[in-house]
A and B are shown apart, each in its own frame.
Chain A
């Protein structure tokens, strides 16, 4: 590879030796102040007690307090449960929809693609509000609709189980289209003749889906799975707006828990320790997902 400033090198400092540093300096100054420094600061805080600007070293006390707080474990459990149920459902749905959008048999694909993409445009607070209206326990249209089939009104907000279902439904609505578009681009790289020969061999659409589409898409689905895992572990806006973490903390995600510790009770040390624990979990899960699918490239 040829680099630009190797061209006229005469052994003294020229403009071309300085330029790259000038070019990266606006970024790195801000990067250092608002990203690197906070990252280190957070680590220091996690071993300290913060009181009105005073930082006192307390060793592992924050971590100890964190790991003995049942609510922390519950918030991890809730987050994990949502993750384990929502991500596979969403990725399966997205793969099915992408396959449908990729089929030669479907017409008006442009319009369908546009429609699936719509939820990507809405911000997390706004769609949570729309969902809280639709899922209103007494008058919401979802319960009315279910009533048509003789189903009793579901207590979406008062019942811990259904509150989790509500969040899973909301997440799936918001993110399936996003993943569909990514998977669709992966699908367009799968050679068509694979399907044609499968078709000649008598494979139906369902067989082709599981024998060709899913294996060929492994790397793309892995990419989506990692992004979704990271996203779900950082889940905040939806439970904050939809359920407020309730009932009885049954939808309190780990970031909601940390937010509450930090800005509800100003326990900055504990919150920082928790943030580092979450980051470690994210790193481990991402690593495992990459390892698990050895052979697939991202």
Chain B
């Protein structure tokens, strides 16, 4: 009996270790490759210890590509859309959860319906709209279509359904205005939900690839993933050292975010994201 338990323990440990190695290894190789020269990266057998070439690779990268601008663009675009999505979703979610008004069911149904539709359906008409607005290759195209998401409203409404209505009534009797109730009472208690929604939104915007690929032409407007994809296009001389430096730089904001909001990360990620 004891033997069997020990054996099971060992089996679990082995499965877990194999899983961890496979999960972590590409990251390790990405960091390592960013510190190696091109010939070290492609050496047989492979170089598995970090080298000393990181700053040379960084130099090559920033001389050939607008990496800092791309990093800024990614942070700027993802940051703004995250803040507005969370704010407007909380506002709309509050109305849907705690007010009775004409058209409420119908409007919320529309939100649910659009949530199910893959964003690619909108790709062509959105592109035409951007052309008509003359927004191609600008921040407007990267930001304005994503200021709100139906999913955000859905999530916030779900969270706010549980908020005690008595609290709101009490505040109203005390003379608090609707907007005051939202800012002073509802929003502060919704911080965890806001954090979770914020994380998903930021991740989705950061990883948004097909849209920047469609609306951005000039190098100065690249987001970081777009720049990295352009670095390996056919016709480019691909230098993997600098590419991996770019990859590392792009991962750092996400790692920082993860360390800061670890607790909310998991609950946020439940809410779903898609390959794309």
Contact = CB atoms under 8 A, between A and B. Distances in A.
A122 B118 contact: no
A129 B247 contact: yes
A75 interface: no
Contacts of B44: 139, 144
Given A4-B169, A27-B148, A144-B45, A241 B114 contact: no
B46 A123 contact: no
Given A31-B114, A129-B232, A275-B124, A97 B276 contact: no
Contacts of A50: 128
A166 interface: no
Contacts of B64: none
A126 B159 CA distance: 33
A230 interface: yes
Nearest to A283: B116
Given A42-B122, A121-B251, A129-B243, A231 B94 contact: no
B243 to A, nearest CB: 6
A149 interface: no
A292 interface: no
Interface string A132-165: 1110101101001000000000000000000000
Contacts of B2: none
B101 A21 contact: yes
A101 interface: yes
B120 A258 contact: yes
Nearest to B46: A141
Contact of B209 (A182, A231, A237): A237
A195 B119 CA distance: 43
Interface residues of A, number: 101
Contacts of A268: 124, 128
A233 B144 CA distance: 26
A2 to B, nearest CB: 5
Nearest to A279: B121
Interface of B is mostly: helix
Interface residues of B, number: 99
Interface stretch (A32-40, A66-74, A210-218): A32-40
Interface string A209-230: 0000000000000000001001
A41 interface: yes
A165 to B, nearest CB: 16
Contact of B26 (A41, A127, A258): A127
Contacts of B266: 117, 181, 185
B118 A97 contact: no
Among B104, B107, B117, find the residue whose CB has the most chain A CB atoms closer than 10 A.
B117
A205 interface: yes
Contacts of A77: none
18 contacts: A3-B165, A23-B99, A27-B153, A30-B147, A36-B114, A97-B19, A105-B9, A116-B20, A121-B251, A121-B258, A123-B225, A124-B209, A125-B225, A144-B46, A182-B270, A232-B275, A259-B210, A259-B214
Interface of B: 5, 8-9, 11-13, 15-16, 19-20, 22-24, 26-27, 29-30, 33, 41-46, 88-89, 91-92, 94-96, 98-101, 104, 107, 110-111, 114, 116-129, 144-145, 147-148, 150, 153, 165, 168-169, 172, 177-179, 182, 203, 206-207, 209-210, 213-214, 225-226, 228-229, 232, 234, 240, 243-244, 247, 250-251, 254-255, 258, 265-266, 269-270, 272-276
